[in-house]
Amino acid sequence: MAGDTIPDSWRSVLEPALASAEARKLGGWLKAEEAAGKQVYPPRGTRLAALALTPLDEVRCVILGQDPYHGPGQAHGLAFSVQAGVRVPPSLVNIYKELEADLGLPRAASGDLSRWARQGVLLLNNTLTVEAGQAGSHAGRGWDAITDAAVAAVAERDVPTVFILWGSHAKKKASRIPALTRNTAHLVLTSAHPSPLSAHNGFFGSRPFSQTNAFLEANGRGAIDWAL
């Protein structure tokens, strides 16, 4: 994981996972893949952007993704987000449609969700890298232990937090976090994934944004401004 520094607010809770044999193997494997000429997204220095933009003590909401976008110029370290100027991907288009239906907010032209991240929305993928053009290619290579530790660290805090789980993959990840499954102080919202393949099976109409804000305001944590 050369070129990516663990932000200070996350360092202590992630150190055990980072010191594991699994994490060391991951780092060596990524170096070998890049040395072999394979294109890995997002680029070095941005793979931990979700943690850098959303310090642990500022997390109000967690949105779990699966792995980064695998097209050129798309991934920049935040789940579901793409860099400004890049065409908005289909899943994010559907997220914007639900946001408009839920809160009446117009659909943004940009797919950059950094503004959400800076307000305490942890946009965390389960796997933080991917080979160009190969969706899911880095799954099972060791990122799970690190991202599990990050989600567990949020869940273990005695601060009411919202966890938004879209699709079966995100739900399975949450089930591996004992602190999340037992902590009733949190709000866990689940629905179908916003992908065009599944959005009509329960994502549309799920109203996650208004539910998140109602919970946060009721617990004195303030509403998130979802406008982009």
Q: Which residues are catalytic?
A: 67
Residue partners of 15: CB distance under 8 A and separation at least 6: none
Q: How far apart are CA 63 and CA 1, in angstroms?
A: 23
**Which of left, alpha, beta for 77 (phi over 0: left; psi -120 to 50: alpha)?**
left
CA distances from 130 to 127, 133, 181, 226 (A): 8, 8, 29, 28
Supply the DSSP symbol for 199: G
Strand locations in 136-223 (E): 162-166, 187-191
